[in-house]
């Protein structure tokens, strides 16, 4: 019966849709994402909004210490939805993505994945290893965020290990100290004898 119907398919005068009958989402999504990036769609949208009211979303950066997970994806997608909504409402939304590349989580992952002892290296060598590790995961996470359709100024991303970022932090710290907002006193702190560093309350595990 199906073969019999096929003989008459070309004889019926039906409208020819411009849209594909099959979505082929895996291929279609990548095509659109590639178009957004190659054609600088976000940058062009910002240029058209150069005289519009400014909307800046201050995004707490993720750690560059592993692949993204559901929590990371949810966080980034929700913020991206807000930015896109504001952009469509006529605001200029120059979203600059960034990564936190300092701290214990990255050092722990380097130790865990490479099976090396930090004490076997000079401080500068150990920092270089942590920096290389963080850079590799910035690249991986950036690709994942782009695959989720997140729009941003990806070429201008910031990372807390960049010299200009560290320099600005030191400048602000110096201003705070000069104005009496930085003090030095004794107080009890959480200390990890294995990592030889202080710990934040969020890092404490009670057993």
Average pLDDT over residues 128-136: 93
Q: What is the pLDDT of residue 144?
A: 95
> Is residue 139 a contact partner of residue 131, using CB atoms and an 8 Å limit?
no
Q: What is the pLDDT of residue 93?
A: 96
Average pLDDT over residues 188-192: 89
d(CA 148, CA 73): 8
> Is residue 204 a contact partner of residue 190, using CB atoms and an 8 Å limit?
yes
Q: What is the pLDDT of residue 181?
A: 96
Average pLDDT over residues 97-103: 93
Q: Lowest-confidence range among 38-52, 86-100, 183-197?
A: 183-197
pLDDT band at 6 (very low <50, low <70, confident <90, very high): low
Between residues 196 and 139, which one has the greater pLDDT?
139
Report the mean per-residue pLDDT for the chain: 89
Per CATH, the architecture of 25-164 is what?
3-Layer(aba) Sandwich (3.40)
pLDDT of 117 above 90: no
Average pLDDT over residues 190-206: 82
pLDDT of 2 above 60: no
Q: What is the pLDDT of residue 82?
A: 98
DSSP letters for 54-121: B----PPPPBSSS---HHHHHHHHHHHHHHHHHHHTT-B-----EEB--SHHHHHHHHHHH---GGGS
Judge residue 97's burial from the number of C-beta atoms within 10 Å of its C-beta, 0-12 exposed, 13-18 middle, 19 or more buried.
buried
pLDDT of 170 above 90: yes
Percent of residues, the chain, with pLDDT higher than 90 = 58
Q: What is the pLDDT of residue 38?
A: 92
DSSP conformational letter for 18: S
Residue 198's φ and ψ, nearest 5 degrees, are -75, 160
């Amino acid at each position: 019966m199906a073969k019999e119907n096929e003989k008459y398919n070309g004889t019926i005068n039906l409208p020819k849709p411009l849209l594909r009958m099959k979505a082929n989402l895996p291929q279609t999504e990548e095509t659109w994402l590639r178009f957004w990036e190659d054609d600088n769609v976000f940058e062009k949208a910002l240029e058209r909004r150069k005289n519009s009211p400014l909307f800046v979303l201050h995004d707490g950066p993720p750690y560059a210490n592993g692949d993204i997970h559901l929590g990371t994806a949810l966080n980034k997608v929700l913020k991206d939805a807000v930015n896109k909504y504001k952009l469509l409402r006529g605001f200029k939304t120059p979203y600059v993505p960034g990564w936190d590349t300092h701290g214990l989580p990255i050092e722990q992952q380097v130790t865990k994945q490479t099976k090396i002892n930090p004490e076997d290296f000079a401080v500068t060598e150990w920092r270089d290893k942590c920096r290389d590790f963080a850079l590799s995961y910035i690249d991986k996470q950036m690709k994942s965020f782009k695959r989720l359709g997140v729009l941003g100024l990806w070429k201008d991303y910031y990372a807390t290990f960049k010299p200009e970022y560290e320099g600005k932090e030191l400048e602000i710290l110096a201003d705070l100290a000069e104005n009496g907002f930085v003090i030095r006193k004794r107080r009890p702190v959480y200390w990890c004898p294995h990592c030889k560093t202080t710990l934040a309350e969020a890092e404490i595990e009670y057993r």
